[in-house]
């Protein structure tokens, strides 16, 4: 047996695989390998950094210790879910694929034998397999009918990677769950899916209409007073009359004040005649 080495352990299992017929199972196995290929490629994993073992309804994938777990976790949360969504949009109901996924770390040895495949040995690998098969993980996937997978991480992955909140990894979306296994209780953290709150602006509630102002009491319309006539300027010419002048046939006697403010005195004839003791005089004022 080779010496055990530290590996990143990635386990995937297809939900309700045994209920499909042989043709559909073959399609699902090919689709699963394609999803894993593209997920690992997105995480920057080279072919030489991985080992895969077919488990019929799933896969065991061991990755070299120099593969960044943060990059792998981001790919599982984004690329894997996106690929499953695309597959299920095109697949018939019988070929729908939903996955249980476990990400763990630990010491794993490889003990191959001639003529056989497999040969992986390790306590940490066994615990990860028990977590993948746990009822709590099956129930979590069954409860999420609108999602395509459920992801659980082991305690070392949570403590070493998740809880630190690296880019694209949100610790608040992982819920702790204690899983009872044969030799005790296995602690794990299950991802709760995308529970990002809606950040669109909240609608502004319609405010109650402001009460209409009471109309002001009608006021009686006061007639606009006529403007006072402008004072007439005085200072017109002053006429001096000798005797009583006749203006257009009217007799003016004594001192008179015209509209121009002038003083009339003496005898003045305007367009007519005046009688004096000497006789009748006509013409212009003297």
**Do 145 and 54 belong to one domain?**
yes
Q: What is the mean pLDDT of residues 249-264?
A: 50
**Do 252 and 118 belong to one domain?**
no
Answer yes or no: is pLDDT of 227 > 70: no
- Res. 281 pLDDT band, cuts 50 70 90: very low
Q: What is the mean pLDDT of residues 85-93?
A: 94
**Do 43 and 171 belong to one domain?**
yes
Nearest to 152 by CA among 165, 168, 167, 141: 141
Sequential DSSP letters for the chain: -PPPEEEEEEEEEETTGGGS-HHHHHHHHHHHHHHHHHHHHHTT--GGGEEEEE-SSEEEEEE-TTS-HHHHHHHIIIIIHHHHHHHHHHS-GGG---EEEEEEEEEEEE---TT----EE-HHHHHHHHHHT-HHHHHHHHH-TT-SEEEEEEHHHHHHTGGGT-TT--GGGEEEEEEEETTEEEEEEEE----PPP-SPPPPPPPPPPPPPPPPPP-PPPPPPPPPPPPPP--------BS--EETTEE--S-EE-TT--EE-SB-EESSEEEETTEEEESS--
Answer yes or no: is pLDDT of 209 > 60: no
User: For residue 256, what are the contacts with CB-CB under 8 A and spacing of at least 6?
Assistant: 263, 264
- Any idea what the CATH number is for the domain that residue 118 is in? 3.30.70.1230
The predicted-structure confidence for 24-35, as pLDDT tens digits, reads as follows 999 999 999 999
Answer yes or no: is pLDDT of 201 > 90: no
**Do 150 and 271 belong to one domain?**
no
Among 148, 170, 191, residue at a domain's last position: 191
User: For residue 77, what are the contacts with CB-CB under 8 A and spacing of at least 6?
Assistant: 151, 168, 169, 191
pTM of the predicted model as reported, rounded to 2 decimal places: 0.68
In-domain check, residue 57: yes
Cα R_g (the chain), whole angstroms: 56
**Do 184 and 264 belong to one domain?**
no
Per-residue pLDDT at 267: 55
**Do 165 and 262 belong to one domain?**
no
In-domain check, residue 132: yes
**Do 112 and 187 belong to one domain?**
yes
Query: Which one is predicted more confidently, 6 or 224?
Result: 6
Instruction: Print the domain residue range for 252.
Output: 246-282
- Pairing mode, if any, of strands 58-63 and 5-14? antiparallel
The predicted-structure confidence for 123-145, as pLDDT tens digits, reads as follows 999 999 999 999 999 999 999 88
Tell me, rounded to whole angstroms, the distance of Cα 131 from its chain centroid.
39
**Do 186 and 272 belong to one domain?**
no
Q: Please count the other Cβ atoms lying within 10 Å of the Cβ belonging to residue 62.
A: 20
Distance between CA atoms of 118 and 116, rounded to whole angstroms? 7
**Do 179 and 251 belong to one domain?**
no
**Do 153 and 278 belong to one domain?**
no
In-domain check, residue 211: no
In-domain check, residue 240: no
- Res. 166 pLDDT band, cuts 50 70 90: very high
In-domain check, residue 263: yes
User: For residue 241, what are the contacts with CB-CB under 8 A and spacing of at least 6?
Assistant: 252, 264, 265, 266, 267, 268, 285
Among 167, 191, 215, residue at a domain's last position: 191
As for how many domains the chain has, the answer is 2
Contact 185, 178 (CB under 8 A): yes
**Do 40 and 144 belong to one domain?**
yes
Among 152, 174, 191, residue at a domain's last position: 191
In-domain check, residue 241: no
**Do 129 and 268 belong to one domain?**
no
Nearest to 40 by CA among 98, 79, 97: 79
In-domain check, residue 226: no
Answer yes or no: is pLDDT of 259 > 80: no
Tokens standing for residue 275: 């009688």
Per-residue pLDDT at 285: 47
In-domain check, residue 221: no
Share of the chain above pLDDT 70, in %: 67
């Amino acid at each position: 047996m080779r010496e055990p080495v530290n590996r990143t352990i990635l386990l995937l299992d297809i939900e309700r695989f045994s209920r499909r017929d042989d043709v559909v199972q073959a399609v699902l196995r090919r689709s699963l390998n394609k999803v894993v290929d593209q997920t690992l490629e997105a995480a920057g994993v080279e072919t030489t950094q991985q080992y895969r073992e077919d488990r019929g309804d799933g896969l065991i994938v061991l990755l070299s210790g120099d593969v960044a777990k943060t990059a792998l976790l981001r790919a599982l949360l984004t690329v894997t879910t996106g690929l499953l969504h695309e597959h299920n949009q095109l697949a018939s109901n019988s070929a729908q694929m939903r996955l249980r996924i476990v990400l763990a770390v630990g010491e794993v040895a490889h003990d191959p034998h001639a003529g056989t495949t497999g040969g992986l040995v390790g306590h940490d690998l066994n615990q990860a397999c028990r977590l993948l098969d746990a009822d709590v993980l099956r129930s979590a996937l069954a409860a999420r009918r609108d999602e395509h997978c459920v992801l659980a991480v082991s305690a070392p992955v949570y403590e070493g990677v998740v809880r630190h909140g690296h880019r694209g990894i949100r610790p608040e979306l992982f819920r702790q769950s204690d899983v009872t296994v044969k030799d005790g209780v296995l602690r794990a953290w299950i991802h709760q899916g995308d529970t990002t709150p809606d950040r669109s602006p909240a609608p502004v509630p319609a405010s109650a209409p402001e009460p209409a102002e009471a109309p002001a009491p009608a006021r009686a319309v006061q007639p606009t007073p006529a403007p006072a006539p402008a004072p007439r300027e005085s200072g017109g010419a002053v006429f001096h009359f000798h005797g009583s002048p006749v203006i257009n046939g009217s007799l003016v006697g004594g001192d008179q004040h015209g509209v121009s403010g002038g003083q009339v005195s003496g005898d003045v004839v305007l367009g007519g005649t005046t009688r004096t003791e000497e006789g009748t005089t006509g013409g212009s004022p003297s």
